[in-house]
């Protein structure tokens, strides 16, 4: 099975992301928009594995506080894939780094590339003329990252379907706000 670990969003952020998708759609020839229920922020990609138990163990080993995260403020693209970014967050980077360390300790191969937090809102974007002309307004919205999920990705009937296999909560530590400012 194909697995990844991700953070999901509250309704206010989902609304902002959906609004960005509508803005994009209005400015392009065609695009494959991420289904609303699939919008997420990937922390780690595991690829094909039959070991969800070891991924769950790696998640259980993480003892970190919940933290605030501002989503939006940035939009961009990797080739024909368009994304919305987040405000720089040390807490988010620390969560992704710690998670990758625990996953490697459980025997997973995790790519070394730098963590670039992004939410994919559309793939296969075909611009009317030039992608550089596309403008998205993504107002920043704040959420609390209170946990993260192990997700299974499957294709069924041509559609991508994500299913949550496990959710790990972050502790409601009183130092979460202070950690963010360090």
Phi, psi values for residue 113, rounded to 5°: -60, 150
Contact call for residues 51 and 141 (beta carbons, < 8 A): no
Nearest approach, Cβ of residue 151 and ligand 2AM (Å)? 7
Contact call for residues 63 and 102 (beta carbons, < 8 A): no
Q: How many residues make contact with ligand 2AM (CB under 6 A)?
A: 5
Q: Fill in the per-residue mask, 25 to 64: x = in contact with ligand 2AM (CB under 6 A), - = not in contact.
A: -----------------x--x-------------------
9 binds ligand 2AM per the rule CB under 6 A: no
Q: Judged by CB, which is closer to ligand 2AM: 128, or 161?
A: 161
DSSP β-bridge partners for residue 149: 6, 167
Distance CA 161, CA 147 (A): 21
166 binds ligand 2AM per the rule CB under 6 A: no
Nearest approach, Cβ of residue 153 and ligand 2AM (Å)? 5
153 binds ligand 2AM per the rule CB under 6 A: yes
Measure the CA angle with vertex 43, ends 39 and 49; round to 5°.
Answer: 95
Measure the CA angle with vertex 19, ends 138 and 126; round to 5°.
Answer: 90
4 binds ligand 2AM per the rule CB under 6 A: yes
Alpha helices in 28-145 (DSSP H): 52-60, 90-105
Q: Which of residues 117-146 bind ligand 2AM (CB under 6 A)?
A: 120
Q: Judged by CB, which is closer to ligand 2AM: 66, or 120?
A: 120
Q: Which residues bind ligand 2AM (CB under 6 A)?
A: 4, 42, 45, 120, 153
């Amino acid at each position: 099975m194909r697995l990844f670990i991700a953070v999901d969003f509250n309704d206010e952020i989902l609304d902002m992301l959906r609004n960005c998708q509508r803005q994009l759609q209005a400015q392009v020839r065609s695009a494959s928009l991420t289904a609303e229920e699939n919008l997420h922020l990937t922390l780690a990609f595991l690829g094909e594995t039959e070991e969800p138990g070891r991924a769950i163990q790696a998640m259980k080993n993480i003892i970190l506080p919940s933290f605030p995260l501002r989503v939006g403020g940035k939009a961009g693209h990797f080739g024909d894939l368009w994304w919305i970014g987040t405000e720089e967050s040390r807490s988010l980077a620390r969560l992704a780094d710690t998670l990758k360390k625990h996953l490697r300790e459980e025997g997973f191969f995790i790519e070394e590339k730098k963590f670039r937090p992004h939410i994919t809102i559309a793939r296969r974007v075909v611009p009317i003329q030039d992608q550089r002309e596309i403008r998205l307004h993504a107002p920043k919205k704040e959420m609390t990252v209170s946990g993260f999920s192990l997700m299974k990705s499957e294709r069924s009937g041509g559609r991508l379907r994500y299913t949550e296999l496990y959710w790990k909560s972050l502790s409601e530590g009183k130092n979460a706000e202070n950690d963010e400012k360090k």
